[in-house]
Structure 1
C-alpha cells in the first residue's frame, strides 16, 4: 500500500531481524493484515464476507485433502467409498458433512460478498482488476463445486453430470468433441470420475492462487468503503490490526456458530435426497436439479425453449448461462456514474433491490420443475437480469443526480456521531450534508 502514513515493519527481536533480512515474510504479513495496512475507518459488517470466504476456502481445502485419502475414484466403488467414509473412518461423517455443507456456506458468503460489491461500487476504478479476479474466482468455484458433486456418484450426481456436460455438445463444430473429452467417453463412467476427481483436487489450489493475486491487487488502491469517498489522510483510516481483526473475528465466530448448527443438526438440509441412491444409468430421476447455488444460472439456461433464427434453443440457453457470469466482468464500464456507493444514488438503489428480488426469483424457479408457470417466470426474470446490466444500469448512470458526497471519510463518520449525540440530547439535528 502506498499510503505515506502507514506504519512500517521494523523487527526488534534478533531472531525476527534475522528472518526478516533473509525472508521478509513477517514484513509481508504485517503490511497485509497487520498494523501496516491502513483501512477506511467506516467499513461496516458487510466487509466481513471477504475474510469469511477465505476461511471457507481453507476449510474446504483441509477437509478435501483428508477426504481424498479415503475416496476411490472408480465408478464401481465410488458410492461405497463415500459410505465407508461416513461409517468406518474415524470422524469421517464429520469431515464429509463439513466439506459438503462448507461448499454451500462458501457460496453463501461469496454471493453476499458480490452483492456488497455491487451495492458499494467496489468494481469501479481503480479496483477493476480486483473485481475481475473475483469473477474468475466465482467461475473456478462453480467448476470445482460441480465436479465435487459428481464424485459422490449418487443418482442426482450421475444425471447432473450427464445433463450439464451434454450442454457443451450444443457448441457448433467442436461441441461433440468437447463433450466426449470431458466425459472420457460417451456417457459418465469411470473415466469421468477420474477426470473430475483430478480437477476437483487441483482447482481449489488454483483458487487460492487467484485469491492471493486478488489480495495483492486490492492492497494497491486499498479497500473501498460505504461512502465511496477516497482516503485523503490518516484521519480517514485505522490500522487493520487490532481494529478490524477483532471485527472480523467476531463475524467469524457468528459464521462458525451457524455453520456448526447446520453441520450437527441439519447436515442434509441443503442437499438432495436422491443423492443417497447409488447412480443408476437405467433410471432417470423425475426432476433433475443441480445444487441450490446453481439454481439462478440453471433457470437462465432453461429459459430458452424455442429456436431463435438459426440458433437452437439449447445453444441459446448455454450462451445465456455463461453470459450471465461473464457480464459481470464488464460492470466497471457499464456503470458510468461518478459516484461509487449506492447509498448516494437514490434512483439506482431502487433498481439494485429489484435485481436482488429478481435473483431470488431465478433461484426459486431454477429449483422448480421445468413446467409452467415456472418456465415463463424464468423467462421474464432472465430478461430482467440482462436488461438490468445492459440497459437500466447505463441509462440510470447517465440521468441520475446523486446525493452530495461527504468531503472526507472522517467528516462523514464524525458528523454521524455528532447527529446521534444531538438526538440523544433531545435537540433537533442539523440537516445531513
Structure 2
C-alpha cells in the first residue's frame, strides 16, 4: 500500500530503524532518533543497491516519488543512479574550479611561456587587464554555463563607455579563452563564434608621426634643445637612429649592446614577434649610447626610471617629452619614430623594401623566406643604418632636400 503524508507524520520512532514502504522500491527509513530518510532500492546488473533522496519533510512525499521516477529512468537506460550522482558531484566541483576568470588566468599564464609565440610582457599585461574587465559579469560563471548573450552583455558595457577598441580586443581575448577551454576538454564550443559583427567597429587611427623632411629637421633640433630629464632627451635622440618599438627601446639593457661591435641584439622575449632582433648601430647611435653609458652603465637598463634603476623608464616618458616640446599626440609619438624612418628610407629609393622590413622587425609568415632575407640583407641594413643617421644630420642642419621627382624634372 502506498504511503500517505498522514501515515508518515504518525510514524513513531522505535528502538530499531524500520521501513515504511511506498511503491516501486521507494521507502522511508524511520530512525530511533526520529529522523526520516528517503531511500530507493533498485537493481543494476543483478546487484541490489540503495540510493538516498534526503530527509522528510525537507523532501516531501511527492518530491521523493519524482526522484524515484528519475532514478528508475536511468536504470532503464542502463545507467546506475548512484554512479551518475557521483559524476554530477565531480562535475560540480570541476565547474567551481573552471570559472571564466580561472581559465582566463590559466590561458594568460600559458601565453607568457608559449615558446616563440609567447606574449611580450607589455602584451601580457594589457591582455590580463582587458580580461579582468569581465570579472564582474561572467568571471564567476562556470565556463560551460556561459551563453553568447552573457558575453555580449559584458562586452557591451565596455563599448557603452566609448571604449570601442578595448571592447573589440576584449571580445577577441574572451574568444581565445573559450577556445583554450575547448582545447583542454572543458568546453564543447566557443560561445563567441557567432558574435562577430555585433560590436561597433572602432575608427582606425594611426600613430602621430613627423615624416616630412623639413619637419623632421625641426623635430630633431627641438629634441637637441630639450631641457627636461636627461635620459628622456637621450632616448628621444637615439630613437630616430634605431627606430625600434618604444617598449624595446625603454627596456634596452647594457648586456644586449656591443658598442665596439656597433650592434644591439634585442632578445626574443622583448620582441613583439618573439624572435631576437639585431640592430646595426651607426656612428651617431654609438656616440649617443656611449653618452648614456657614462650615466647609467655599464650594467642594467640603458634608460632607468628616475625613481629606481631596477626598472626602466615609464612607457609614457618619451611621449611626455614630445608633449613638452609642443608636439600633440596626433603630430608625433614615441612610435612615430618608426614611421619617420620607414618613410625616409622608402622615399629615398636606395634600399630594398625587404631590408627596410627586416630593420623594422616586421614578421614574415614564410619562415624560410624570413630566414633568407635576414641573412641576405644584413650588409645592406648596416649601410642603411649609417645612411639614415647621416641623412638625419643633414635634415637637422637645415639643408634643403630636393625631392627626387623635382631633381629629375630639372635635368630634363
Structure (1/2) with the larger strand percentage: 2
TM-score by length of 2: 0.26
Flag the structure with larger Rg. Answer: 2
Structure (1/2) with the larger helix percentage: 1
Task: Report which structure shows greater RCO (CA 8 Å, sep ≥6).
Answer: 1
TM-score by length of 1: 0.25
